[in-house]
Amino acid sequence: MVDNSNSYKDRVSRLISWGHWFMLANIVIAMLMAIRYIFSVDAQPSLLSTLYVISTWIGHFGLLGIITYIIILFPLTFLLPDSRILRGLGAFLATVIIVALLIDGSIFQNYQLHLNLLVFDLNGFNLNNTIGWSSIALFLLALLMVELTIANLIWKRLAIIRNWDVGNRITLTFAGAFLLSHLLHIWADATVYRPILAYDRMFPFSHQSTARSFIKKYGLIDAEHETQLQLSNNPKTINYPLNALQCQKPKAENTLFITIASANSGLVNEQVMPNLFKLSAQGINAQQHITSSLVAHEAQFSLRTGIPAKYKSSFDSRKLMSPVDSLLYPETAKRVFSGDYDFNDVAAASVDQQNVESAIEWIKEHSTTGFHGDITLFASQELSVPNDFTVPIMPLSQPMSAAERILAKEYIASLFYTDSLIGNLIDHVDLSNTTVVITAERGNDLNSIYQRSALFSKVNLHVPLVMLIPGVSPQEIHKQSSHYDVLPTVLRHHFNCGNPASDISVGYDLVSTQVNELFYVGNSQHFALYNQGNITEIDRQGQYKFYDQFYQRQADGDLSFQALIDVMKNINRFN
């Protein structure tokens, strides 16, 4: 077809029609290029997930192609109504977009990341190591020739193509696939159907629809049912431990885990927590220890398994045991002194006191037969102290409002009371024959105690860790450590296990020289990377924020690309 009309309206009309078909041709090319994304996702396919992937594949790239055409090529049709210029410009732009898709696909295939600002902000990221630029250059030239050929063929045969009359059906196909994919994802998100959810963020610029709050609002799914679905629909079978444990007879017969619901490591001193301060000089005292999550049950899970909370649902649904539990002799007595309480009806201090008294009686009963005790103390979480308990006056150094000062003093008083319970409990334990682990689920910001801040600040993450293990000399550990390191230490020095820490944990033996450069804290929905007090928070969409050790937002940050890849590989080893 020859562009010989002088009518502006006719030229624009033909160019718009040409643009529609040129867009369709490039949608097909982009879809073919995008197949590599699908096969890069580690997921268990099902009939529904296959339908979802196909509908997403068609609908997503159909929508992207239409949006790209409307934003770029459609306005240029009116500004430059010359077919030669527009065909050349369209071919060039399409080539650049397809090559960008090729590069993004290579990054996703290697690192499960899309091309975004986070990738380029990471120190050590080198696109040259991911992309073969000589191959890309040849591909770019070849693709440009193909695009020019397609552009010219469509223009010359535009009259014939117009007679096909399939445009409406193609548009309906894209719209139907797009709608179906989002409806399937809404259902999968509401029912936690993980064979579909595993494909979240598979394609660049993808954003899946959710309506869980709406569905809950109208009673179509309740919280209990959702929890059961989360347990039963995990797509991955957790491989834990990676190798069978090879352990000898324990050096000590007994183990005791004491977990404080909330305790700041900076408050373990002679004034606030004198008993724990004294014990810290008798065993392993981790000075730079952080929790693994700010959610209580997730922190407890990582403390006892050595792996991140992202595995908890799979671990629970398969009824796996903590390595400590699996290594206990059949005759070893085991008891947990904690549980879920409604502290609106009963004081946490009273619950803690009753649990400690019960634990003391139980320890006396089983002191000669071996025991494994596990107790959680809640008083500091609820700012609870008995009315007849005397607390010394403890001045606060940091500036606070009057209301904050009252709450902070209540928190410190509850820690002082908790410490007295720990001292009473330890007085009835034979430390020559018992491994004792004392730590906390999380810290607390004295300026926002009642808010129970979910911010990954240093003051919220840093918690005390004291481990008393018979045969292990007292020592201060100044390297970075986390809850992931507790289990490897117990298995190595209490149970005499010969397995490397990597078999059962993403952490290391505290007494060893090994240390993680980055710590993964949180869960798969909300997590951060911690390094020497500096925090990088990353959400599910790949958006990131940098904070310093005072939790002040930084315009830019310092995060090693290789360290990020290493930490993600480390935590995914048990899939």
**Under the phi-then-psi rule, with left for phi > 0, alpha for psi from -120 to 50, and beta for the rest, what region is 496?**
left
pLDDT above 70 for 526: yes
**249 inside domain:** no
Report d(CA 26, CA 471) in Å as an integer.
Answer: 69
Highest mean pLDDT: which range of 152-156, 221-225, 446-450, 486-490: 486-490
Is beta strand 465-468 parallel, antiparallel or unpaired with respect to 434-440?
A: antiparallel
Q: Are residues 167 and 92 in the same domain?
A: yes
CB 196 within 8 A of CB 56: no
363 or 207, higher pLDDT: 363
Residue 59 zone, left/alpha/beta (φ > 0; ψ -120 to 50; rest)? alpha
Nearest-angstrom CA–CA distance, 361 and 240: 35
Cα 466 to the center of its chain, rounded Å:
27
Quick one: pLDDT at residue 235?
A: 46
Model pLDDT for residues 317-328, shown as the tens digit of each residue: 788 999 999 998
Mean pLDDT of 279-296: 95
Q: What number is the average pLDDT over the span 56-68?
A: 92
pLDDT value, residue 222? 58
For a pLDDT cut of 90, what percent of the chain falls above it? 46
Q: Which range marks the domain in which residue 104 is found?
A: 8-232
Residue with tokens 């494994």: 372
Q: Cα dist. 290→199, 207, 456 in Å? A: 32, 33, 10
Inform me whether the pLDDT recorded for 161 exceeds 70.
Answer: yes
Number of C-alpha atoms within 13 angstroms, CB side, residue 94? 32
Whether 33 contacts 146, CB under 8 Å: no
Average pLDDT over residues 58-63: 93
Residues 320, 357, single domain; the answer is: yes
pLDDT of 57 > 90? The answer is yes
Query: Which of 213-217, 252-256, 459-463 is predicted least confidently?
Result: 213-217
Of the candidates 461, 433, 463, 472, the one whose C-alpha atom is nearest the C-alpha of residue 534 is 461
Q: Nearest to residue 83, comparing CAs of 152, 32, 167, 133?
A: 152
Tell me the C-alpha to C-alpha distance, in Å, between residue 415 and each of 89, 315, 422: 70, 32, 10
Nearest-angstrom CA–CA distance, 195 and 155: 43
Q: Is residue 574 part of a domain?
A: no
The Cα–Cα gap between 19 and 13 comes to 10
Supply the pLDDT for residue 228: 53
Does the bond joining 488 to the residue before it have cis omega, within 30 degrees of 0? no
Helix 402-426 / helix 348-366 crossing angle, nearest 10 deg: 10
- Of the residues 177, 198, 232, the one at which a domain ends: 232
Q: Quick one: 166 and 279 in the same domain? A: no
Q: For residue 386, is pLDDT > 50?
A: yes
Asked if 461 and 263 count as a contact pair (C-beta separation under 8 A), the reply is: no
Percent of the chain, pLDDT > 70? 85
Which residue in this structure is represented by tokens 């139980």? 362
Instruction: Say what the pLDDT of residue 183 is.
Output: 92
Output the pLDDT for position 543: 66
Report pLDDT for 540.
Answer: 59
**Residue 166 and residue 169: Cα distance in Å, rounded?**
5
Of 507, 527, 550, which marks where a domain is finished?
507
d(CA 341, CA 376): 12
At residue 217, the 3 state secondary structure works out as helix
Tell me, yes or no, whether 456 and 364 share the same domain: yes
Structure-derived torsion over alpha carbons of residues 426, 431, 437, 443, reported in degrees to the nearest 10 = 40
243 occurs within a structural domain: no
Residue 126, both tokens: 């080198």
Q: Is the pLDDT of residue 90 over 50?
A: yes
pLDDT score of 349 more than 90? yes
User: Could you give the CA distance from residue 153 to residue 159 in angstroms, rounded to a whole number?
Assistant: 11
Provide the terminal-to-terminal Cα distance of the chain, rounded to the nearest Å.
58
User: Maximum Cα–Cα distance for the chain, whole Å?
Assistant: 103
Same structural domain for residues 307 and 158?
no
Query: Average pLDDT, stretch 75-95?
Result: 90
Alpha carbon distance 463, 264 (integer Å): 5
Are 54 and 200 part of one and the same domain? yes
Task: Note whether 316 and 299 are within 8 A (CB).
Answer: no
| End residue of a domain, out of 232, 262, 297 | 232
180 and 308 both lie in a single domain: no
What's the rounded Cα separation, in Å, for the pair 17 and 167?
10
295 plus 224 within the same structural domain: no
pTM of the model: 0.70
User: Does residue 123 surpass a pLDDT of 60?
Assistant: no
Residues 6 or more apart in contact with residue 106 via CB below 8 angstroms: 130, 131
On whether both 356 and 218 belong to a single domain, the answer is no
Rounded to whole angstroms, how far apart are CA atoms 496 and 249? 7
pLDDT class of 2 with cuts at 50, 70, 90:
very low
197 within domain boundaries: yes
Question: What confidence tens digit (pLDDT) does each residue in 536-560 have?
Answer: 887 655 567 778 777 778 776 666 6
Pairing type for strands 284-290 and 371-377 reads unpaired
Laid out side by side, the sheet with 544-547 consists of 519-522, 527-531, 534-538, 544-547, 553-554
Amino acid at 370: G
- Geometric angle at alpha carbon 443, from 439 and 445, rounded to 5°: 160
Indicate if 57 and 185 belong to the same structural domain: yes
pLDDT digits over 230-277, tens only? 544 444 568 899 999 999 888 778 999 999 999 999 999 999 999 999
Total domain count, the chain:
2
pLDDT in tens, 351-379: 999 999 999 999 999 988 899 999 999 99
Lowest average pLDDT, out of 288-292, 338-342, 460-464, goes to 338-342
498 belongs to a structural domain: yes
CB atoms within 10 A of CB 432: 9
Neighbours of 43 (CB within 10 A): 17
Q: What is the CATH number of the domain that holds 474?
A: 3.40.720.10
Mean pLDDT of the chain: 85
Per-residue CA distances from 274 to 208, 271, 328, 416, 443 (Å): 52, 6, 32, 8, 18
> Do 313 and 415 belong together in one domain?
yes
Report yes or no on 398 lying in a domain. yes
- The verdict on residue 539 lying in a domain is no
User: Is 258 a member of any domain?
Assistant: yes
Q: What is the pLDDT of residue 391?
A: 82
Provide the pairing of β-strand 371-377 with 553-554.
unpaired
Same domain, 216 and 288: no
